[in-house]
Homo-oligomer: A and B are copies of this chain.
Amino acid sequence: MALPFNEYLQARRAEIEEALGATLPVPPKCPASVADAMRYSVTAGGKRLRPVLCLASAEAVGGERALAIPAACASELIHTYSLIHDDLPAMDNDTMRRGRPTLHVVVGEGLAILAGDGLLTEAFALLARAPETTDPALVARKLRVISLMATAAGPIGMVGGQAIDLACGTPDHAGPSAAPLDADGLRAMHSRKTGALIRASAGAGAIMGGAGEATLDDIDAASAEFGLAFQIVDDILDVEGVLADLGKTSGKDAAAGKPTYPALYGVDLARRMAADCLARAERTLQAAGLAESRLMEIGRWIVNRAH
């Protein structure tokens, strides 16, 4: 562990930015309107948590990082698509994100929906074409990553989580899921909406890095804890209004009557819950012999950001 974590993070992010920039389609093959819209959102300056976690997982299992770069990029494309669609007027109706107007404010709803569709689809095109290989072992890994990512992003994952979230805010589209969420319901929603892609990103890196099944299970368990901690901290930051400094509308979930961890447990207990997630992840990673990897540092970064 030569580099301090900050420098490690900076180095990985630089790799990701370069690869992301190279993967986005450009005119004339792609119409300029949708190419520009996709680029606007992808380059809006996110934390790149998912791709960093993906690369760190590949490294943790002793894999070649280059093999995981496409999966890292795909995780960010899928994350960006989900933000664009979640921000739409028909969903959360958010007008600011990462300190800039949301995409639909800039290009209109139709093109924003299409840019999201394009990013989601491009993620799978990228996973299928890169890394370019005819090695049967790598081809099989790529297929497994596509299955993992699509399942995490789809109706039993992120799409399902957002549908539950949508039902909380709009009792009209009720159905069985429209009852106010209790603690279990809140956790289940976030495990789909946020947790699924965080776990899939870590899993994809480990798969591309050639991890065995037991190690995959451990990385999955640890990243599930990271995902939960991430959401708890996000809720705390939202309540504390800290997110305003990060360019998002703060206090919005609470105002919309959406359940949050601080609302259910209070800020102090919520903070302890996030710390407990980290502790469980650490035990898992220690038992798996991965305590010396960058994974725990990423977990601590998730919990300590903006504090």
Contact = CB atoms under 8 A, between A and B. Distances in A.
Interface of A: 25, 27, 29-36, 38, 85, 88, 90-91, 107-111, 113-114, 116-118, 120-122, 124-125, 127-129, 134, 136, 139-140, 142-144, 146-147, 150-151, 153-156, 159-160, 162-164, 166-167, 170, 172-173, 175-177
Nearest to A162: B114
Question: Taking each of A91, A142, A163, A175, which has the highest tally of chain B beta carbons within 10 Å of its own beta carbon?
Answer: A163
A122 B147 CA distance: 10
Given A33-B163, A155-B35, A90 B118 contact: no
6 contacts: A32-B177, A33-B163, A34-B159, A114-B162, A121-B159, A128-B144
A163 B90 contact: no
Contacts of A34: 155, 159-160, 163
Q: Is the interface of A mostly helix, strand, loop or mixed?
A: helix
Nearest to A108: B173
A276 to B, nearest CB: 27
B121 A109 contact: no
Given A33-B173, A173-B110, A129 B147 contact: yes
Contacts of A128: 143-144, 146-147, 150
Question: Taking each of A35, A109, A117, A147, which has the highest tally of chain B beta carbons within 10 Å of its own beta carbon?
Answer: A117
A141 to B, nearest CB: 10
Given A108-B173, A122-B154, A124-B124, 5 more contacts: A31-B175, A35-B155, A118-B159, A124-B146, A139-B140
